[in-house]
Amino acid sequence: MSGDLKVTGNDIEFGNSETISNATDGDFLFTTGTTTGALTLKNSNTSDGIASIELVSDNGADVGDGYELKSVNGVFTITSDHSSSGTYNDTYFTITGNSTPASSTTTIAGNMLINGGQLGLTGDADLITLASGIATVAGEISVTTLDIGGANV
């Protein structure tokens, strides 16, 4: 086949019963009946192929209206084009994987807001509970330098 493929119905069905459907105008539904079925986007460049999904709303020429989910060489990032339209070079969230998940790192640029009320470490019973502007610590606090209101204590 050469040229465009036009489907006049609402579904494309593949040999293993997977489907792509636009039964609701404006939405695409990818369906598989397999328990571990997945939508996989793969870049076959074996040294530094970047698999990415760009989510652009409104107008692609505007800065700050697009985000990109990207995976390359074991690093997953969420970036945006806030600085320059279409560049996706402003990184907000990074997971650097490791074969030992506990040795992986997660980096969040900017502030992290926790609305659930607790911040804890796996394997540690001590928790920091945040509620109504008050931080409660179940355990010990060790402070090396404390700056309250601009005065070192």
- Strand spans (E) along the chain: 11-13, 19-21, 29-31, 51-56, 66-72, 75-80, 90-96, 105-108, 118-120, 127-131, 134-138, 147-148, 151-152
Residue 151 pLDDT greater than 60, yes or no: no
Interatomic CA distance for residues 101 and 112, integer angstroms = 21
Residue 134 pLDDT greater than 90, yes or no: no
pLDDT > 70: percent of the chain? 86
The predicted pLDDT at position 98 comes to: 93
Two structure tokens written together for 58: 């409104």
What are the C-alpha distances in Å from 103 to residues 25, 34, 96, 107? 44, 32, 9, 13
How crowded is residue 66: how many other Cβ atoms within 10 Å of its Cβ?
Answer: 21
pLDDT in tens, 35-73: 888 888 888 988 888 899 998 887 767 888 889 999 988
pLDDT > 90: percent of the chain? 29
Residue 105: φ, ψ to 5°: -125, 150
Average of per-residue pLDDT across 105-125: 77
**For residue 106, with 0-12 CB atoms within 10 Å meaning exposed, 13-18 middle and 19 or more buried, which class applies?**
exposed
Average of per-residue pLDDT across 106-125: 76
* 80 pLDDT tier (thresholds 50, 70, 90): very high
- Given a contact cutoff of 8 angstroms between Cβ atoms, the answer to whether 96 and 104 are in contact is yes
DSSP 116: S
Residue 123 pLDDT greater than 70, yes or no: no
Residue 102 pLDDT greater than 70, yes or no: yes
Interatomic CA distance for residues 20 and 31, integer angstroms = 6
Average of per-residue pLDDT across 94-113: 92
